[in-house]
Amino acid sequence: MAATLGYDGVEVMVWTDAVSQDAGALQGLVKHYGVPVLSVHAPCLLVTQRVWSNDPMDRLRRAVVLAESLEATTVVVHPPFTWQRDYARSFADGIEKLSTRHPGIRIAVENMYPVRLARRTFVPYSPGWDPTQTGYGSYTLDVSHCAASRINSLDMADRMGAGLAHIHLGDGTGEGRDEHLVPGRGNQPCAELLASLGERGFTGSVALEVATRGARSRSVREAALAEALAFTRTHLAVPLSR
């Protein structure tokens, strides 16, 4: 579908699906479709805690190795969960060591969001959902997560500064959940963020994260992804007005 719609590349999320874990299989798909893998998402979701290894740092290391084999330049990783105490203690040092061993890969820590259930709000990440409060060399800015956090993605980009390495572009309405809307359909300043990237010196890639599970047909799904691509290309080409 990425090839059909004219995307420049894809991000591979390492998942329970065997193909997403296999460098050779992914290299075959890249060759067949002519669409490169530009970024790799490490297996750090709840459902991927046993992919490759029970050790989260080993999973991150293997994601970096996979990215290298695919000539991708970015690995996306989430902050540790609160119950991953040993991993949380070694997380920053582990990233630094991996970055030293693999200088061609930017390990970009993603901003997350508080979880809201009924009248309760809690943060399942250690030390928090905002990685800029801890400080890392590289970041992934997730716009849909900004909406879920009820913060402005331009403000988050400012906090990340020169560390902004990668973007997950979606949209949201601020309802407190991760919506992954087509950019422009929510209330985040997606167009302004894209237009600001040149002045920010951004040299990474923009990965569209758009939920299409509700699409009733392939044509509806393709239309949403084509709209997202057109929006992104249009606003990336527009300089920020002064």
The residue count for the chain:
242
Phi, psi of 40 (to 5 degrees): -125, 135
Nearest C-alpha neighbor of 232 from the set 1, 6, 3: 6
What pLDDT, on the 0 to 100 scale, is given for residue 120?
A: 86
What pLDDT, on the 0 to 100 scale, is given for residue 241?
A: 52
What pLDDT, on the 0 to 100 scale, is given for residue 242?
A: 41
Q: Render the chain in DSSP notation, one character per residue.
A: -HHHHT-S-EEEEP-SSGGGG-HHHHHHHHHHHT--EEEEE-S-SGGGTTSS-S-HHHHHHHHHHHHHHTT--EEEEPPPBTT-HHHHHHHHHHHHHHHHH-TT-EEEEEP---EEETTEEE--BSS-S-GGGT--S-EEEEHHHHHHHT--HHHHHHHHGGGEEEEEE-B--SSSS---BPTTSSSS-HHHHHHHHHHHT--SEEEE----TT-SSHHHHHHHHHHHHHHHHHHHTSPPP-
Separation between Cα atoms, residue 82 and residue 124, nearest integer Å: 6
Q: What is the pLDDT along the chain (242 residues), one digit of tens a residue?
A: 999 999 999 999 999 999 999 999 999 999 999 999 999 999 999 899 999 999 999 999 999 999 999 999 999 999 999 999 999 999 999 999 999 999 999 999 999 999 988 788 889 999 999 999 999 999 999 999 999 999 999 999 999 999 999 999 999 998 878 999 999 999 999 999 999 999 999 999 999 999 999 999 999 999 999 999 999 999 997 665 54
Q: Tokens for 55, please give them.
A: 């050790």
pTM score, whole prediction: 0.95
What pLDDT, on the 0 to 100 scale, is given for residue 239?
A: 64
How many alpha carbons fall within 13 Å on the CB side of residue 133? 9
What pLDDT, on the 0 to 100 scale, is given for residue 186?
A: 96
Phi, psi of 223 (to 5 degrees): -65, -40
b (16+ CB within 10 A) / e for 92-130: eebbeebbeebeebbbbbbbbbbbeeeeeeeeebbeebb
